[in-house]
Amino acid sequence: MSAAAPERTLIDELLADQKTLSTPVADFSEQHDREPDLAGHYRNLIPLSKPGPGEQYAFEVALDKCTSCKACVAACHSQNGLDEDESWRDVGLLLGGEDEPSWQQTITTACHHCADPECLNGCPVKAYEKSEENGIVRHLDDQCIGCSYCIFKCPFDVPKYSKKRGIVRKCDMCHDRLAEGEAPACVQACPTEAIKIVTVNVVEKSKLGKRDLGWLNGAPPAHITQPTTRYTGREVPITAQAADYQNLRPEHAHAPLVIMLVLTQVAVGLFLGSLRSGLPPLGLTLLTLGLFTIGLVSATLHLGQPLKAWRFFLGLRTSWLSRELLAFTILGGFLTVPLIHHLPFIPSSQLAPLVNFLSGKLFASFSALIALCAIFTSVKIYETTHRQLWKAAITFPRFFGTTAISTLLILSLFDPVWTPFFTLGILIKLGLDFLQLQGEKLKRERILITQILLPISLIRLVSALLAIGVVFLHPWVAFPFFLISEFAERTLYFKAVRPLKMPSFL
Amino acid sequence: MTLPIPSEKLAQTLKEQATLHARQGTFTSELLRNPGKFGLGQVPVALKPDATTTSVCGYCSTGCRLKIHLKDREAINLTPSVDYPVNLGMACPKGWEALAVLDSDERGTTPLLNGKTTDWNSALDSFCENFKGIQDKHGKDSVAFISTGQITVEDFFLLGSFAKFGMGIRHGDGNTRQCMATSVVAYKQSFGFDAPPYTYADFEESDTLVFIGANPAIAHPIMWQRVMRNRRDPHIVVIDPRCTETAQVATQHVPLTPKSDLALLYGLAHIIVRDGRVNEDYLDKTEGFEDFARFLDDYPPEKVAPICGQSIAELEALAHRVSEPGKRVSWWWTMGVNQSYEGVRTAQAIINLCLMTGNIGKPGTGANSITGQCNAMGSRLFSNTTNLLGGHDFGNPDHRAKVAGLLGIREDRIQEAPGYAYDQIIEAIDKGEIKGLWIIATNPNHSWIDQKNFARIREKLDFLVVQDIYVTTETSQMADLYLPAAGWGEKDGILINSERRLGIIRQVKKAPGQALTDYRIIQALADRWGGCEFIKKWPTPAEALTTIKALSKGQPCDISGIRDHNHLEQVGGIQWPAPETESPSLLEHPTERRLFEDGKFYTANQKAKFVFDHPSPLAEPTCEDYPLILLTGRGTSSQWHTQTRTGKSKILRKLYPQECYLEINPEDAAQLKIEDRQQVTISSRRGEIKAQAYYAPTVQKGQVFLPMHYKEINRLTHASFDPHSRQPNYKYCAVNVAK
CATH number at residue B468: 3.40.50.740
A237, A94: one domain:
yes
Are the CB atoms for A230 and A59 separated by under 8 Å? yes
For residues B216 and B120, membership in a common domain is answered with: no
- B297-to-B259, B274, B280, B293, B294 alpha-carbon distances in Å: 21, 9, 18, 7, 5
Question: How many A-B residue pairs are in contact by the CB < 8 A criterion?
Answer: 250
Cα angle B494-B500-B501, degrees, rounded to a multiple of 5 = 50
A36 inside 8 A of chain B by CB: yes
Residue B698 belongs to a domain with what CATH number? 2.40.40.20
A90 and A116 within one domain: yes
Residue B39 domain-assigned (yes or no)? no
Contacts of residue B515, Cβ cutoff 8 Å, sequence gap at least 6: A18, B107, B108, B109, B469, B484, B485, B486, B490
B523–A31 C-beta distance less than 8 A = no
CA distance B385 to B149: 12
Same domain, B354 and B490: no
For B660, name the nearest residue in chain A, comparing CA atoms only.
A506
Q: How distant is the Cα of B347 from the closest Cα of chain A, in angstroms?
A: 26
**Range in A55-64, A352-361, B313-322, B499-508 with the lowest mean pLDDT:** A352-361
**Are residues A131 and A262 both part of a single domain?**
no
A191 with B77: Cβ contact below 8 A: no
Q: Of B350, B369, B388, at which residue does a domain stop?
A: B369
Half-sphere exposure of B319 (CA within 13 A, CB side): 29
> Per residue in B235-264, pLDDT tens?
999 999 999 999 999 999 999 999 999 999
Q: Is the pLDDT higher at A438 or at A486? A: A486
Sign of the alpha-carbon torsion through A408, A413, A415, A420: positive
Name the minimum distance, in Å, from the CA of B492 to any CA of chain A: 8
Q: What is the pLDDT of residue B685?
A: 96
Q: Which B residues, 475 through 534, put their C-beta within 8 Å of a C-beta on chain A?
A: 486, 490, 492, 506-511, 514-517, 520, 523-524, 527
- Are A233 and A357 in the same domain? no
Comparing CA positions, the residue from B529, B416, B588 lying closest to residue B129 is B529
Chain B residues touching residue A181 (CB < 8 angstroms) = none
Residue B122 resides in a domain: yes
How much is the average pLDDT of A367-394?
A: 95
Q: Which amino acid is at A33?
A: D
| Position A290 confidence tier, pLDDT thresholds 50, 70, 90 | very high
pLDDT in tens, B672-707: 999 988 999 999 999 999 999 999 999 999 999 999
The model carries a pTM of 0.94
Domain ends where: A190, A208, A242?
Answer: A242
Structural domain contains residue A14: no
Q: Is the predicted pLDDT of residue B519 greater than 80, yes or no?
A: yes
Say whether both A352 and A443 belong to one domain. yes
**Residue A388: pLDDT band with limits 50, 70, 90:** very high
Q: Convert the pLDDT of each residue in B279-296 to its tens digit.
A: 999 999 999 999 999 999
Residue type at A190?
A: C
Helix A419-435 crosses helix A475-495 at what angle (to 10 degrees)?
10
B124 and B255 belong to one structural domain: no
Set of chain A residues whose Cβ sits within 8 Å of the Cβ of B32: 176
The vertex-B658 CA angle with B652 and B660, nearest 5°, equals: 130
What pLDDT does residue A498 have? 95
A38–B89: do the CB atoms touch at under 8 Å? yes
Residues B282 and B329 in one domain: yes
**Cβ-Cβ contacts under 8 Å, A248 against chain B:** 677
| ∠ Cα A435 A438 A444 (to 5°) | 120
- Percentage, residues of chain A above pLDDT 90: 75
The alpha carbon of B284 is separated from its chain's Cα centroid by a whole number of angstroms, namely 34
**Does the distance separating the beta carbons of B508 and A14 come in below 8 Å?**
no
Residue B56: enclosing H or E segment and its boundaries?
strand B51-56
A94 - beta bridge partners?
A105, A242
How many structural domains is chain B composed of? 3
Write the DSSP symbol of residue B671. H
Domain-located, residue A165: yes
CB of A79 within 8 A of CB of B41? no
Are A75 and B21 a contacting pair at CB < 8 A?
Answer: no
Instruction: Nearest chain A residue to B676 by CA: give it.
Output: A246
CB within 8 Å: B73 and A25 = yes
Residue A477's domain spans which residues?
255-495
| Residue B267 scores a pLDDT above 70 | yes
Q: Which of B107, B151, B160, B101 is nearest to B491 (CA)?
A: B151
Say whether residue A4 is in contact with chain B using an 8 A CB cutoff: no
Q: What percent of chain A has pLDDT over 70?
A: 94
The candidate with the shortest Cα–Cα distance to A220, out of A501, A446, A505, A506, is: A501
Confidence bin at B169 (pLDDT 50/70/90) = very high
Q: Which of B27, B215, B519 to mutate to test the interface with A (most CBs of A within 10 A)?
A: B27
Domain boundary among A211, A242, A273: A242
Q: Label residues B360-384 b or e (16+ Cβ within 10 Å = b).
A: bbbbbbbbbbbbbbbbbbbbbbbbb
A205 has pLDDT over 60: no
Shared domain for B714 and B657, answered yes or no, is: yes
Q: b or e along B421-435 (b: 16 or more beta carbons within 10 Å of the residue's beta carbon)? A: bbbbbbbbbeeebbb
Tell me the pLDDT tens digit for each residue of B457-491. Answer: 999 999 999 999 999 999 999 999 999 999 999 99
Query: Do B358 and B274 share a structural domain?
Result: yes
Are residues B505 and B455 part of one domain? yes
Look at residue B676 in the predicted model and tell me its pLDDT.
87
Residue B721 located in a structural domain? yes
Name which of B77, B86, B72 is nearest B41 in CA terms: B77
Instruction: Compute CA distances A477 → A293, A428, A470, B255, B291, whole Å.
Output: 22, 20, 6, 69, 96
Contact B91, B222 (CB under 8 A): yes
- Name the residue among B22, B39, B92 with its Cβ closest to that of A71: B92
CA–CA separation, B726 vs A446, rounded Å? 54
In the stretch 714-733 of chain B, residues with CB closer than 8 A to chain A read none
Across residues B214-224, what is the average pLDDT?
Answer: 95
Cβ neighbours of B27 in A, within 8 Å: 141-142, 144, 165, 167
Kindly state whether residue A366 falls inside one of the protein's structural domains.
yes
Beta bridge partners of A62: A232
CA angle (B105 as vertex; B101, B111 as ends), nearest 5: 105
Q: Is B551 left (phi over 0), alpha (psi -120 to 50) or beta?
A: alpha
Q: Mean pLDDT across the stretch B318-336?
A: 97
Residue B549 lies in a domain: yes
CB-based contact (8 Å) between B31 and chain A? Answer: yes
Q: What's the domain range around B654?
A: 628-738
Pairing of strands B608-609, B286-287: parallel
Pair B347, B333: CB distance under 8 Å: yes
pLDDT tens digits for range A295-309: 999 999 889 999 999
Which of residues B555, B578, B593 is at a domain's end?
A: B555
More confident residue, B227 or B5: B227
User: Do A238 and A379 sit in the same domain of this protein?
Assistant: no
Residues A227 and A284 in one domain: no
Mean pLDDT of B535-563: 96
Q: Pick the last residue of a domain from B519, B538, B555.
A: B555
Q: What pLDDT, on a 0 to 100 scale, did the predictor assign at position A6?
A: 57
The Cα of B186 is separated from the nearest Cα of chain A by a number of Å equal to 30
Looking at the structure, do residues A312 and A450 belong to the same domain, yes or no? yes
The whole-number average pLDDT for the span A390-413 is: 95
Contacts with B103 (C-beta within 8 Å, 6 or more apart), sequence order? none
- pLDDT level of residue A338 (50, 70, 90 thresholds): confident
Average pLDDT on B64-77 reads 95
Report phi then psi at B511, rounded to 5. -75, 150
**C-alpha B585: how far from chain center:** 32
Give B653's contacts in chain A (Cβ within 8 Å): 85
CATH of the domain at B219: 3.40.228.10
A132 in contact with B, Cβ within 8 Å: no
Same domain, B167 and B289: no
Verify that A187 and A332 share a domain, yes or no. Answer: no
pLDDT tops 90 at residue B523: yes
Q: Please report which confidence band the pLDDT of residue A2 belongs to, taking 50, 70 and 90 as the band edges.
A: very low
Give the gyration radius of chain A's Cα atoms. 29
Residues B380 and B365 grouped into a single domain: no
Element (H, E) at A196: strand A195-201
Helices (DSSP H) in B112-212: which residue ranges?
A: 120-138, 153-161, 181-191, 201-205
Q: Please indicate, yes or no, whether residues B379 and B496 belong to a single structural domain of this protein.
A: yes
- Low-confidence winner among A59-63, A485-489, B91-95, B673-677 (lowest mean pLDDT): B673-677
**Is there a single domain that holds both residue A223 and residue A271?**
no
In a domain, A26, yes or no: no
Cβ count near B658 (within 10 Å)? 10
CA dihedral A38, A41, A43, A46 (to 10 degrees): -90
A193: how many CB neighbours lie within 10 A of its CB? 18
Mean pLDDT computed over every residue of chain B = 95
CATH number at residue A185: 3.30.70.20
Quote the CA–CA distance of B487 and B2 in Å, as a whole number.
54
From B663, B637, B675, select the one nearest A106 (Cα to Cα).
Answer: B637
Degrees to nearest 5, angle at CA A313 with A311 and A317:
135
Alpha carbons B172 and B181: distance in angstroms, whole number = 14
Q: What is the largest CA-CA distance in chain B?
A: 102
B404 and B501: one domain?
yes
Query: H-type helices in B19-166, by residue range?
Result: 26-30, 93-96, 120-138, 153-161
What is the C-alpha to C-alpha distance for residues B431 and B460, in angstroms, rounded to an integer? 9
Q: Does A75 touch chain B (CB under 8 A)?
A: yes
Cis peptide preceding B577, ω within 30 of 0 = yes
**Would the pLDDT of A208 be above 60?**
no
Residue A36 lies in a domain: no
CATH number (domain holding residue A331): 1.20.1630.10
Tens-digit pLDDT profile for residues B597-620: 999 999 999 999 999 999 999 999
Do A230 and A265 share a domain, yes or no?
no
- B528 to chain A, minimum CA–CA distance in Å? 9
Q: Is B279 helix (H, G, I), strand (E, B) or coil?
A: coil
Which among A64, A102, A141 has the least Cβ separation from residue B27? Answer: A141
Please name which of B712, B673, B674 lies closest in space to residue B693, comparing C-alpha atoms.
B674
Residue A293 lies in a domain: yes
Domain end (from A215, A242, A269): A242
Whether the pLDDT of residue A76 is over 80: the answer is: yes
Q: What is the DSSP letter of A355?
A: H
Q: Is residue A502 one of the residues assigned to a domain?
A: no
> What are phi and psi for residue B466, nearest 5 degrees?
-125, 125
Across the interface, whether the CB atoms of A102 and B692 are under 8 A apart is answered no
Please say if the pLDDT value at position A32 is more than 70: no
**E strand intervals along B365-429:** 366-369
Tell me, yes or no, whether A276 and A224 share the same domain. no
| Total tally of structural domains belonging to chain A | 2
Write the CA distances from B522 to B147, B148, B408, B482, B527, integer angstroms: 13, 15, 18, 14, 8
Residues B362, B445, single domain; the answer is no
Q: Look up residue B473 and give its amino acid.
A: T
Residue A87 lies in a domain: yes
**Confidence band for A80, pLDDT divided at 50, 70 and 90:** very high
**Alpha-carbon span B661 to B219, nearest angstrom:** 18
Return the DSSP state at B370: P
Compute CA distances B713 → B45, B285, B449, B681, whole Å: 44, 45, 9, 12
